[in-house]
Every structure is written in structure tokens, then in C-alpha cells.
Structure 1
């Protein structure tokens, strides 16, 4: 099916809706916690991706996996950090804190592109980075003043997600050089899922998950992760990066609402004020970027 811009945008909204269910689902687990939660989700994600990519690529997928270029393996390592840190962070602090921290991804990507790829950043992006950084700093300082060790640890772990995502995107930009004839990067998601599950396996033992927990985490691995990850790679060919980033912010809104409605986890005042700074800065930056005739040359997300 040929994707029009409207269909791609609608599918991106669906992607963010699928991504956003992780927080509320983890709040309904019986016994699984921390690294065991991460292991089961990553394992089912790897299983789902393996089946899907084998159907799409055939046996050539497995023959070429080991000999994939360095960019695929670096991207896979980044995916593994994102998969692992996200779930661990959810077990340490509120869903809102995790999602707001993750929303820094596009701004960190822009900063890395400036530092490592020498892309020019507009003054509005520098301003957005400062404001968003102030928002995260506010959340962290309030957690420290309230002596909420779990909140501080959760925010610190969650911060690894946008950093890994920024490295991932910077590597892709370096390899692609804006050319459509690029390496097949879909196997990187599979590599990330396998690494995440292998690294967390010994930390997850002994297993405490009930069959109910395994069913929920299996659903997350396939529905919340494997399917939307495959979709977003396809959508990136149609939607410009600024628009993808802006639509991706819906995950924060959906995720907070899911946790509030489905688990009774109301976002705290600190998350609301800090989140307003982060989301406001990012929305303003991306809206201006989408209207700017120079957005393509800036290569920002």
C-alpha cells in the first residue's frame, strides 16, 4: 500500500498509542519486577521481530545478520539500552516522570548532531534545549528535596533512553548522508531486543512472574514494541523528522492518561510543571522547524 501523508500521520498516532500502554500495563503485574519485567518484554519482542523479519527477508536475514555493518550493531546496542532502561525506570518511578524525561530525545539528538556532525542549530533550538533542561532539572531537584530516592533513580535511568536514541539517530544520519540507498536497519531492532534479553536474564533470576505477568509482558513485547518499531521505520520514509518528533510527543500524553485512568497513578505537581517546560519547548521548536524553509538543511529532529 502506498502511504499518503495523511495515512502516515494517522499510523504514527497509532504507533504512539501502542507505545504508550507500557506504563499502565506494568502497574497491573502480580509479581514480576525490575529486570525480570525487562527480560520478558525484550524476549517476546525478539521473538516477534524474528518471526516478522524472517517472513519479510527470508533465510537471508540470518545469514547476513552476523556480517551486518558496524552501523547496524551500534544501532542495535542503542536499541538494547532503550529497551532496558525504559522498563527498569518504570519500576522505579511514576510513568509521567519517565515519559517526560524521554521527551528530551529530539533535543539531545539536535545537540549531538551539532557536536558530532557539525549541523547548524538555529537559536530557537538552543533556547529549547535550555528550557527543556531546566524542566528536567526542576523535576530532579524537587525529587532530591523531597528525598524521593526512587524518583531520582527512575529519572536518572530514564535519561539513558533519550541519550541512546540520540546516539542511534546520529549514527544513522552519519551513515545515510541523506541518501535513500541505505543499509537495512531493521535487523538492528532485533539485535537490540536479543542483547537486552540476554543481559537482563541473569539479573532476572529467579523468576517470580506469574502466568498472568508473562501474558501481559508477552503482549507488550509484540504489540507495544515489535509492531510499532517496524511501523515507524516505514513511516520515516514518508514523514519528515520534525513531524515524526512532534507526533511522537503524543506518547507522553497518552501514557500519562493511561496510567491515570487505568492505574490511578495521577501525575505529581513536579511532573506537570517540569513536563510543561519540556513539552512546551519541544512543541514550539518543532512547529517553527516545520514552517521553516531551512528545516531540511538543518537536519533536526
Structure 2
């Protein structure tokens, strides 16, 4: 895969991810945990079909013998799948997406704490500014009260789980480099584990089910098009693009998601989300732009 094609696919991935908010706003009767259950179930069915085609019988062997890294990663995917959809039903699309956008900075912080990676001053500064942005959102929602603050708290689980997952993958790569005799586990089936666990956990909370045929068609769209397909594509893209570049392109999900919810569901982002989001996105953009300039000057 060429670099240009990888960038194009990653942009497509962010566009597919971003449809969740606007689609959810057009549901008729399904709410909260039922929305999460159906999306995770359709995602699990699509991933099972795709991974059986990609891995064949080796898929089931990997699930049996993958060891603790595979299942920890699966639990991280469970939190990401579950918390995202529950948060979308509790607060605005903009608030959820802005909260999720701190994932690259949380990942950098986890890498420093658990993998002892050195962080440049610009990254510490970006973490501080992004923290102010999220703190502003929390503060305003706490003053205004209601479910919005709860939604942001639930949404925070997504970047925390994502950072844990990415740090785990980096740890596995470091371990394999230190000891080449160790075989690096196939972590792709973890996305399937996460989908199955998310569906299983939310089913009792969603019962009795009330989704209409209209709702099921939309939730099926989310499970397949918004989750399964882009997750599989992103794994392939991550092999070509460096992590900072992937993180930077992934910020497009915030822009696409807010615009789609605004145009398609008449959900305009409020001033709190705009102010906090500007700080978070600005910090991320500045951090990645400085990193890119340093890499280019190093090659000069």
C-alpha cells in the first residue's frame, strides 16, 4: 500500500466512524444500552464473517491460545464499543467526540508512565492545554447540570481504554524486539472479543428489547459500516502510516461527526463544546505540527 493510498483510506475510515452520532439521532425507539447491544451484535457478526475469511481455522486457535494480551486488548475494545454509544445517548455528539479526541495525548502519557518513553516538552504542554479544554467542558456541564456531565464521564472511558490498548500493543512490540524468539501474538481477533463481550454485557441491561425494524436497519449500518469495516481497514493502514500521522488524520472524525450531526440532525455544537474543543484540537494540531517539523529537520 502506498503512503498516499494509506492516507486516503484513513480519511475514509474517519468519515465512516463519524456517522454514529447522526445515525443515532434518527432512531425511533431504541435507547441507551439497547443501542449499544444491537450495534455490538451486528459488529460481532460482521467481524466473525470477515475474520473467518481472513484467518480461516487459525482464528479459533488464536482465540484459544492468544494469552492475556489478546484478552486485555479485547476488554479495551469492549469499553470503547460500549462507552461510546452510551455516551452518545447521554450528551451531544460534539461533547463526546471532543472528549475522545484526547486519546493521542493520553496514549503518550501512558507510554511515559508504563513504557518509560521520554516525552518532549511540546507534548507535556499539549497535554496541559488539552486538560484545560476538557476541564472547561466538565466545569460548564457541572454548573449546567444534568445528563451532559454524565455523558462526558462515560465518554472519557473511550480514550482511556484506547490508550491502554495502544500501550499494550507497544509493549508487545518492545518485548518481541528484546527477545526475537518470542512470537508476536495476532491481536486482530481482539476486536471480535470486544464486540462479543459488549453485546453480552449490555443485553441484560437492554432487556426488554424495543427496537423497531427501522432502528435495526440503522443499527446494522452502524455495526457493519461504522465499526467492523473501518476497524479492519485501520489495522492495515497502521502498518504503513506512523502513529502520529494516524492520530492527526483521526482528528477529522471530530470535524466530520460534528458537521454530520449539525446538518443531518440539527444538533448544533454548543459554546461549551466549541470552546473546549478548540483548546483540545488546537493542542493536538500544534503538537503534531511541531513533531512533523522536527522530523523533517532531522532528515534535512
Q: Pick the TM interval, shorter chain.
A: over 0.9
- How does the TM-score come out when normalised to structure 1? 0.95
The one-character-per-residue Cα deviations of 1:160-219 (angstroms, maximum 9, x if unpaired) are 000000000000000012859732111000000001000001001000100110110011
Q: SS state of the match for residue 295, structure 2?
A: coil
> Which deviates the most, 47-56 or 67-76?
67-76
Q: SS state of the match for residue 30, structure 1?
A: coil
What displacement does 1:88 show? 0.1
Indicate whether 1:126 and 2:124 are aligned. yes
- Tell me how far apart the structure 2 counterparts of residues 78 and 19 of structure 1 sit (CA, whole Å): 18
The one-character-per-residue Cα deviations of 1:51-82 (angstroms, maximum 9, x if unpaired) are 00000111221133122121111110000000
Instruction: Provide the residue aligned with 1:299 in structure 2.
Output: none
What displacement does 1:292 show? 2.2
The one-character-per-residue Cα deviations of 1:93-131 (angstroms, maximum 9, x if unpaired) are 000000000001000000000001000000000000000
- How does the TM-score come out when normalised to structure 2? 0.95
Instruction: Provide the residue aligned with 2:263 in structure 1.
Output: 261
- Tell me how far apart the structure 1 counterparts of residues 218 and 195 of structure 2 sit (CA, whole Å): 17
Q: Please list, as runs of the form range in 1=range in 2, the aligned pairs for 1:162-181 lying within 5 A after superposition.
A: 162-177=159-174
- Tell me how far apart the structure 2 counterparts of residues 292 and 189 of structure 1 sit (CA, whole Å): 34
- Tell me how far apart the structure 2 counterparts of residues 36 and 202 of structure 1 sit (CA, whole Å): 9
Say if 1:289 and 1:295, in contact at 8 Å, map to a contact too: no
Instruction: Provide the residue aligned with 1:291 in structure 2.
Output: 293
Residues 94/186 of structure 1: CA separation in 2 closer, same or farther (3 Å cut)? same
Which stretches in structure 2 are left out of the alignment for 5+ residues? none
Say if 1:105 and 1:165, in contact at 8 Å, map to a contact too: yes
- Tell me how far apart the structure 2 counterparts of residues 282 and 156 of structure 1 sit (CA, whole Å): 21
Q: Please list, as runs of the form range in 1=range in 2, the aligned pairs for 1:144-293 lying within 5 A after superposition.
A: 144-147=142-145, 149-177=146-174, 182-293=184-295
Say if 1:12 and 1:244, in contact at 8 Å, map to a contact too: yes
Q: SS state of the match for residue 166, structure 1?
A: helix
Residues 295/224 of structure 1: CA separation in 2 closer, same or farther (3 Å cut)? farther
Instruction: Provide the residue aligned with 2:58 in structure 1.
Output: 60
Instruction: Provide the residue aligned with 1:77 in structure 2.
Output: 75
- Tell me how far apart the structure 2 counterparts of residues 295 and 229 of structure 1 sit (CA, whole Å): 33
Which stretches in structure 1 are left out of the alignment for 5+ residues? 297-301
Instruction: Provide the residue aligned with 2:104 in structure 1.
Output: 106
What displacement does 1:294 show? 9.8
Q: Which residue of 88, 91, 94 corresponds with 1:93?
A: 91
What displacement does 1:295 show? 11
- Tell me how far apart the structure 1 counterparts of residues 190 and 119 of structure 2 sit (CA, whole Å): 28
Q: SS state of the match for residue 73, structure 1?
A: helix
Say if 1:98 and 1:155, in contact at 8 Å, map to a contact too: yes
> Which deviates the most, 282-291 or 262-271?
282-291
After superposition, the CA RMSD in angstroms is: 1.6
